[in-house]
Amino acid sequence: MNSHSNAHNSLQPLTPEDGAVVAAMRTMLGPQKGLLQGTAARPIYDEIIGHVAAPEGVTYEPDNVGGISGWWCRPPHPRPHEALLHLHGGWFVWGSARAYRHFVGHIASRAGASAFVADYRLAPEHPFPAALLDAQACYRGLVDRGIRRIAVVGDSAGGGLGLALLSLATVQPGPDGVVPVGAVALSPVTDLALSGPSWENRAAADLYFTRAQCAALIHAYLGDHDPADPLASPLYGRLAGLPPIRVHVGEDEMLLDDSRRYVERAVAAGVDAKVDVWRGMLHVFPSGVGSLGAAALALDAIGAFLSERLAITVGTASASSRAVAQV
């Protein structure tokens, strides 16, 4: 990776080829910006994310882990006792494990580890904290199966859920003491108060969303609950003691500052956290693998990080990390 502006925040360049692809996407998708609304958009959203090309050699299997249904994405030779837990995006209202399985398969393939995509409950039928409770149950279900090295991965709303789960699983590792070895978040939603400057200064550049659209989706999830609750918005949690975290975000999305501010707070708390900001890129751009060169580069970096973290000697939560890494 290059173009580092500081130790924890790097800006990745836009190639002319990717610039042309994004420009074509803007022409095609621009008129549809902000149109996905409510539960009626679920099949449309699934169709969009389901179009990610299947990675070679990855197999898929439905399962139920910790009482939560979902799909396993297994590369050809996954290492035993390791797993990724992927929490999908969709603004807490959309998305399914089945639709996400090919995208997550690319991550699993590069990490050399099986990944489970959880079908956590969706709002508004199941508002906060149902999604987080399901994520927590699924994580514990993996531990109950004897998996000792677990990394948490998530995109968009699922990225925020993953970071909230990361804090919970580090503070409350359970009787076996297994804690996550690391986390990756792609364009995560970390601040449901929508207070980041990029909600204004990236409003025109964002290809997919409008602020009003996102606020309505968040209301379907939170209702009148405090958006600054760290279990809903991990930006506001106490982050000390967390394992290494890597974040990838597009420069042209309103959620840009959700990534930058979270990493800044994590670094200030002593966490090994880094964010790569990809110039000219859009929300969860790694799902554009096969079309965008940046997507492949980001996925390669994610896979290398996850593979390295999963290979470490398993540790348990120390008393100090339990004391300070509180949400």
Domain definitions of the chain by residue range: 4-324
pLDDT at 172: 84
Secondary structure of the chain: what % helix, strand, coil (to 5)? 40, 15, 40
Tell me the average pLDDT across 309-314.
82
* Predicted confidence band of residue 313 (pLDDT cuts 50, 70, 90): low
Q: What is the pLDDT of residues 14-66, one digit of tens each?
A: 999 999 999 999 999 999 999 999 999 999 999 999 999 999 999 999 999 99
Lowest mean pLDDT among 63-72, 115-124, 285-294, 316-325: 316-325
Which pLDDT score, from 0 to 100, does residue 324 have?
36
- Mean pLDDT across 78-87: 95
Taking only the tens place, the pLDDT of each residue in 128-145 is: 999 999 999 999 999 999
DSSP state of 142: H
Query: Taking 60 as the threshold, does the pLDDT of residue 119 lie above it?
Result: yes
The mean pLDDT value for 300-315 works out to 89
Q: Are 91 and 255 in contact (CB under 8 A)?
A: no
The beta strand positions in 22-148, using DSSP E, are 59-65, 68-74, 82-87, 115-118
- Looking at residue 322, its pLDDT comes to 37
Domain 4-324 bears CATH identifier 3.40.50.1820: yes
Catalytic residues, which ones? 156, 253, 283
- Is pLDDT above 80 for 12? yes
Residue 326 near residue 171, CB atoms below 8 Å? yes
Four-point Cα dihedral 274, 275, 276, 282, nearest 10: 160
Residue 320 pLDDT: 33
Cis peptide upstream of residue 129 (ω within 30 degrees of 0): yes
Please compute the mean of the pLDDT values over residues 219-236 and round it to a whole number.
Answer: 98
**Which tokens sit at 296?**
């492949």
d(CA 132, CA 27): 37
pLDDT above 70 (res 224)? yes
C-alpha 119/C-alpha 131 separation (Å) is 9
Portion of the chain with pLDDT greater than 90, in percent: 90
Q: What's the alpha-carbon Rg for the chain, to the nearest Å?
A: 18
Distance CA 305, CA 293 (A): 19
**Length of the chain in residues, anyone?**
327
Q: Is the pLDDT of residue 325 over 60?
A: no
Class of residue 211 by CB neighbours under 10 A (exposed 0-12, middle 13-18, buried 19+): middle
At 245-291, the pLDDT tens digits run 999 999 999 999 999 999 999 999 999 999 999 999 999 999 999 99
* pTM for this entry: 0.94
Q: What is the mean pLDDT of residues 230-238?
A: 97
